Amino acid sequence: MKHPYKSQGLTAFWDSAISAVNSLELSGLYERKFDIIGCKLAAAGSCFAQHIGQALKKQGLEFLDLEPAPSFLAKELHKPYNYGLYSARYGNIYTSRQLLQLFDRAFNQFVPKDNIWRRGQGFVDPFRPNIEPDPFVNAEELVELRRLHLEKVQELMRQCQIFIFTLGLTETWFSTDDGAAYPVVPGTSLGGDFDSARYRFHNLSYVEIVADLELFRQKLQQINPDCRILLTVSPVPLAATALPRHVLVSTIYSKSVLRAAAGWLAQEYDDVDYFPSYEIIASHPTRGMFFMPDGRSVSKAGVEHVMGHFFKAHGLKPDDGHQPESQPQQNLEEYEQDPVCEELALAAFNALKEENKL
């Protein structure tokens, strides 16, 4: 008798694809939908996306960076000032709503009312509160630098040929005034003052995430018709949850929803692809070997393993070095350590709580 499973390859069956294979030698996890070589690549997303961007640069691919560090800034200060982390200096974009609103802010389609937070005696940008180690001395400087930044974001969206976005969270905080989405709750060490009348917590649903990304795709196509989107999901667990439940339960919910949304979009649209970085790191066949002792941070070996799958699917080896002469190899050692992450402000709060300092 004939049936569809008879024509399936070995990777379609658990026994042959997983049980009979060393977890470090799993293959066939990803087949590219489109090429990246020779394309202008842009990256954004949650903290894990920083690793992806650095790997693309190290590989020598054409990775866009429209807000490079100024020549006078010492190299050891590039990372603390968020230079070289992404294709523009937008900091971490954890949610689909942040991404959509970044596009709208860059193209003057959305101007949030609550757009300056206080930190101590200075000021921070609520949408990238960790962009510099110290707050701005005056609000005028913040506003001007943000204006220049959003101009670069607009330029980036027009230039890039493949936009890589790493989904990180479903949990977010909104302004009750106009729905502006923030990367972190106001009131942490990063700035702002929490007021339940002004800010509300929201856990984005599958339907909302799909709608956000479909609208982002539609708007991106309007100004850059040939740009394609590559989605991935961060394997890094939540640092904290705002829901009245265990952080592990919230993590599994969040990653499951993000994975489902990304998978549907990649299935629905020819110009959207999905790369399984989450599965490669966090699925149980790897037995957690790619996580650091905290069970949250991904090791350097884990990042290299993930990107090895990605580059192999594109016919590249990690040391191929396709760097064009106009883009000399960068010293990326400082970027291979812990990524810059606003979520750590929540972990710091927990540490203070345990020490009875709050």
CB 107 within 8 Å of CB 218: no
The count of other CB atoms within 10 Å of the CB of residue 123 is 20
Closest CA to 200 of 228, 218, 217, 181: 181
Q: pLDDT band at 227, cuts 50/70/90?
A: very high
Give the pLDDT score at 334.
43
Q: Domain residue spans in the chain?
A: 37-354
Give the pLDDT score at 2.
87
pLDDT tens sequence across 136-147: 999 999 999 999
Q: Note the pTM of the prediction, 2 decimals.
A: 0.90
pLDDT of 241 > 60? The answer is yes
Mean pLDDT of 256-261: 98
pLDDT tens sequence across 68-125: 999 999 999 999 999 999 999 999 999 999 999 999 999 999 999 999 999 999 999 9
Give the pLDDT score at 357.
53
Give the pLDDT score at 49.
87
Integer CA distances (angstroms), 318 to 199, 250, 302, 314, in order:
44, 34, 14, 11
pLDDT of 346 > 70? The answer is no
Give the pLDDT score at 349.
53
